[in-house]
Amino acid sequence: MTEILDNLVALLSLEPIEENLFRGRSEDLGLRQLFGGQVLGQAVSAASQTVEPGRQVHSLHGYFLRPGDASLPVLYEVDPLRDGKSFSARRVTAIQKGRPIFTCAASFQAGEAGLEHQQPTMPEVPGPEGLLSETELARQVADRLPARIHDWAISAKPIEIRPVTRVNPFSPEPCAPIRYAWFRADGRLPDDPHLHRYLLAYASDFSLLNTALQPHGVSVFQRFMQVASLDHALWFHGDLRLDDWLLFAVESPWAANARGFARGHVFDRDGRLVASMAQEGLIRLREDWQ
């Protein structure tokens, strides 16, 4: 693994403090608050450490309750709701400053045979070869990046993202609420299926709400926009590897009442659907931005 990928793996590993209680470090990405993907990945990590070997997380439903502080660690309290013959259920609460900032329920299952089908099919888009990464695109406009995210935006990332759909965040024009991007970890990962799911949970918070902004010709880089995740749902459909290219296909079918809704599918290079997700978030026009 590269050093930056190793740092992300360490970020998601968590420190056991007491039975069903874990502590995670925080990472400052230059955002106004803690990156939601970090909390998602760490919550999956915490819950996974409390189930019997062989059971993998297959779904997560969570709510972002308060903005997190990227300068402080996060405590994760796991409530073991049930361990059945086939499924285990866990409730996870992320805590900072004595108050919950995120809560979720997660379900785990051991692998078993069953009926199989897949719909939708993988979109026909260009492959990742030859596409520029988000980091390379950011370096082309480095002089226009906000100071708080400048260094992070132009530096190497543990997860490389190569957009198929490119939107100018500084001068966005209205376009269809559809976005495609290839992504993978920047290095070889261990053969730990839990780890690949932690990392997908971390990456699943990228680009969802941005897609809901596209029909309106606005972006998160514009100071009059207030954008924040409200809830997040994630389903794992099968084994996956984050160190091979995956396609993130996102669409936003609705926005109103200062909220936007987006849903996405993740496909591997063979066109197999490996995960799905949905998110609703705040997309409010600030009245006091000037």
pLDDT score, position 288:
65
Q: Which stretch of DSSP H or E encloses residue 40?
A: helix 36-48
Q: Which two tokens stand for residue 124?
A: 């026909």
pLDDT at 92 over 90: yes
Residue 26 annotated among the catalytic residues of the structure: no
Q: Is the pLDDT of residue 1 over 80?
A: no
Q: Both tokens of residue 255?
A: 């926005």
| Contacts of the segment 112-116: beta carbons below 8 A, 24+ positions apart | 112/86
How confident is the model over 226-243, as pLDDT tens digits?
A: 999 999 999 999 999 999
Residue 288: active-site member: no
pLDDT computed for residue 196 by the predictor: 97
DSSP lists the bridge partners of residue 273 as 267
In this predicted structure, the answer to whether residue 276 has a pLDDT above a threshold of 80 is: yes
Instruction: Please report, rounded to a whole number, the percentage of residues in the chain having pLDDT higher than 70.
Output: 99
* Catalytic residue (choose from 45, 88, 96, 229): 229
Enter the tokens of residue 150.
């400048």
Confidence of residue 289 (pLDDT cuts 50, 70, 90): low
* Identified catalytic residue from 42, 48, 204, 279: 279
Two structure tokens written together for 287: 């009245």
Q: Would residue 71 show up in a list of annotated catalytic residues for this protein?
A: no
Cβ contacts of residue 243 below 8 Å, gap of 6+?
A: 184, 185, 187, 188, 189
- Evaluated on CA atoms 179, 282, 237, 131, the torsion sign reads positive
Please compute Rg for the chain using Cα positions.
18
What confidence tens digit (pLDDT) does each residue in 69-83 have?
999 999 999 999 999
pLDDT tens figures, 202-232: 999 998 999 999 999 999 888 889 999 999 9
Mean pLDDT of 87-96: 98
Catalytic residue among 133, 205, 207, 276: 205
Strands 21-24, 99-110: pairing kind = unpaired
